[in-house]
A and B are shown apart, each in its own frame.
Chain A
Amino acid sequence: MLAASLAVAIAFLTIPVAAIFFDAGPSDLVEALGDDTTIDALRLSLVTSAVALGLIILVGTPVAYLLATRRFRGRAIAITLIELPLVLPPAVAGVGLLVALGPQGFLGGIAADAGIELVFQTAGVVVALTFVASPFYIRQAQSAFEALDPSWLEASRTLGASEARTFARIAIPAAVPGLVTGGALAWGRALGEFGATLVFAGSFQGITQTAPLAIVELFGSDLNGALALSAVLIAFAAALLATVKLTSRGRGFGLVVD
């Protein structure tokens, strides 16, 4: 009974992924990848998701550390608000970004005055990806920091290290496996982003058309192209997942408490 449900779950979750590789032959897939729509889309996806990931790590790491190590009024509310995009439909995120940061949005005027254009721009894609993917990193990073033995941080402070130095030299190195896991999850989410990007940034080859948007466009006209792009995203997702598995197994630096 239990084994049967496991078999059903595995079959259900893997057959659609495997079918992408079998529907068209490998040579058709490779050929379809040479198309400039697919190449532009992959390049744009890599660039925008990498920039988004950089922003998320830069801002998200101290946020996660703060949430993990301090107790303050409104902390639970802050955590809930930060996690909101996790459960938000991506199209809602896109509409929200558009009415907030679009040309007629209430922050859009300020942004426009500062010379920042987001809608229909690559920067808008980065904003959409950062919005939907950041909670994946912050959550994971927060639990990585929470798992650190507080006495190590305490010892660092007692020995005269500043809070910033404790964070940079003790907390971050010790939390690396958790941070890598969070980064990989956020990156995966950013690469898969569709709805918020389409609604907020639009879809234009080389500017805003990321791989998932190109897949949907190609689906109507060039199924092999859609399959080929899908196959590349699957390979990338698998690599990210493998990274997560490997980092969470090894290097704990002996600091992580269960």
Chain B
Amino acid sequence: MSALAAGLAGCGGDEGEGAVDTLIVSAASSLTEPLEAYGETTDTDERFSFAGSDELAAQIRKGAPVDVFASATTSLPDALFEEGLVEEPEVFISNQLVLAVPSDSPIVGLGGLEREDVDLVIGAEGVPVGDYTRDVLDKLPAGASAAILDKVRSEEPDVKSIVGKLVAGAADAGFVYASDVSATNGELIALELPPDLEPVVAYSAAVVRDAGNPKSAQEFVDSLVDGEAHDLLLDADFLEPEGE
């Protein structure tokens, strides 16, 4: 919420072109740490608004003056592109959906979720991490999928609130991205999903069509695709996107 508030506060900035370039970036929650680190290295004043990608897309649809949209899925930027709201989106990074558990957890995989009495937290429907999770569960036999959904205690609006519930010890397991687990510095561990269940998690970014600052916006997207921002994402355990 604070990121959202900061983003909205940034919207009031009608001061025109100052000495420092201001760029409003609406980005998926999972991009928080690496993009903030990237922001420190640039001369541009990036104002990040981190939230669930679906919420950010809805804000752009309602005319929020955003320069760059970086989403945890390709479908939302594609939809905005078709609606004429953003320039052509570019896939810039990929991630791995994992089952995150506290480092001292006895759970070792999906089977544990099915059998044990656990409190599971997932993303809400429509939030990319929630949709990827449902894709995975849909591939399981109906009984297993139902048994796991039965353990869901909360559907969170973005991936960082899932991580928060796990780190605080409120929940026993959650489906998040591998990079989110790395960002907890060992408090959580990532249990990989069987390869045949793993969804393709591709992130794409686009310059918003009415961007107040199209040049810096394009530079930002370029950096996500193959510049310094891209390298920082890889350092944070994001993955190279699969060949287009």
Residues of A within 8 A of B (CB): 91, 95, 98-99, 102-104, 119-120, 194-195, 198-199, 201-205, 207-209, 216-217, 219-221, 223
Provide the bound-state CA to CA distance between A198 and B52, in Å: 15
Q: Could you tell me if A102 and B168 are in contact, using CB atoms closer than 8 angstroms?
A: yes
Interface contact B154-A202, CB-CB below 8 Å: yes
Q: How far apart are the CA atoms of A134 and B127 in the complex, in Å?
A: 33
Q: Which of B55-81 contact A (CB under 8 A)?
A: 55, 57-58, 61-62
Identify 27 residue pairs between A and B in the complex whose beta-carbon atoms are under 8 Å apart, listed by A's number.
Answer: A91-B2, A95-B168, A102-B168, A102-B169, A103-B169, A103-B170, A104-B169, A119-B153, A120-B119, A120-B153, A120-B170, A198-B157, A199-B161, A199-B164, A201-B154, A202-B121, A202-B154, A202-B155, A204-B152, A204-B154, A205-B155, A216-B157, A219-B55, A220-B52, A220-B57, A221-B54, A223-B58
Closest-by-CB residue of B relative to A194 is B1
Question: B125 contacts the other chain (Cβ, under 8 Å)?
Answer: yes
Is A220 touching B1 in the complex (CB atoms < 8 A)?
no
> Is there contact, CB below 8 Å, between B161 and A198?
yes
Selected from A95, A194, A203, A207, the residue in CB contact (under 8 A) with B124 is A203
Tell which of A104, A201, A220 touches B58, judged by Cβ atoms closer than 8 Å: A220
Q: Which residues of A contact B169 (CB under 8 A)?
A: 102-104
CB distance from B63 to the nearest CB of A (A): 12
CB neighbours of B121 from chain A (8 A): 202
Q: Of the candidates A103, A195, A208, A216, which one forms a contact with B55 in the assembled complex, judged by CB atoms under 8 Å apart?
A: A216
Nearest-neighbor residue (CB-CB) of A103 within chain B: B169
Q: How far is the CA of A203 from the CA of B2 in the complex (A)?
A: 18
Chain B's nearest CB lies how many Å from the CB of A103? Answer: 6
* Chain A residue with the shortest CB-CB distance to B102: A104
CA A99 – CA B127 in complex, angstroms? 27
Residues of B within 8 A of A103 (CB): 169-170
Of chain A, the residue at the smallest CB distance from B164 is A199
Check if A202 sits within 8 Å of B58, measured CB to CB: no
A120-B54 in contact given A102-B168, A195-B1, A199-B164 (Cβ < 8 Å):
no
Cα of A119 to Cα of B119 in the assembled complex, Å: 10
Name the CB-closest residue of B to A200.
B170
A98-B170, A220-B54 are known contacts. Are A208 and B157 too (CB-CB below 8 A)?
no
Interface status of B84 (Cβ within 8 A of chain A)? no
From known contacts A91-B1, A203-B124, A205-B155, infer whether A99 and B168 are also in contact, taking CB-CB under 8 Å: yes
| CB of B192 to closest CB in A, whole Å | 26
Q: How far is the CA of A194 from the CA of B127 in the complex (A)?
A: 18
Q: B127 and A220: CB pair below 8 A?
A: yes
Can you list the 10 inter-chain pairs with the closest CB atoms, starting with the nearest?
A202-B154, A220-B54, A104-B169, A120-B153, A221-B126, A220-B55, A119-B170, A220-B126, A102-B170, A217-B124
Nearest to A201 among chain B residues (CB) is B154
| Chain B, range 128-184, C-beta contacts under 8 Å to A | 152-157, 161, 164-165, 168-171
- Which residues on B sit within 8 Å (CB–CB) of A91? 1-2
Give the contacting residue for A204; candidates B54, B57, B155, B170; CB below 8 A.
B155
Complex formed: what's the CA distance from A46 to B127 in Å?
Answer: 27
Query: What is the bound-complex CA distance between A195 and B54, given in angstroms?
Result: 19
Q: Which residues of B contact A194 (CB under 8 A)?
A: 1
Which residue on B lies nearest to A216, using beta carbons?
B157
Min C-beta distance of A24 to chain B, whole Å: 12
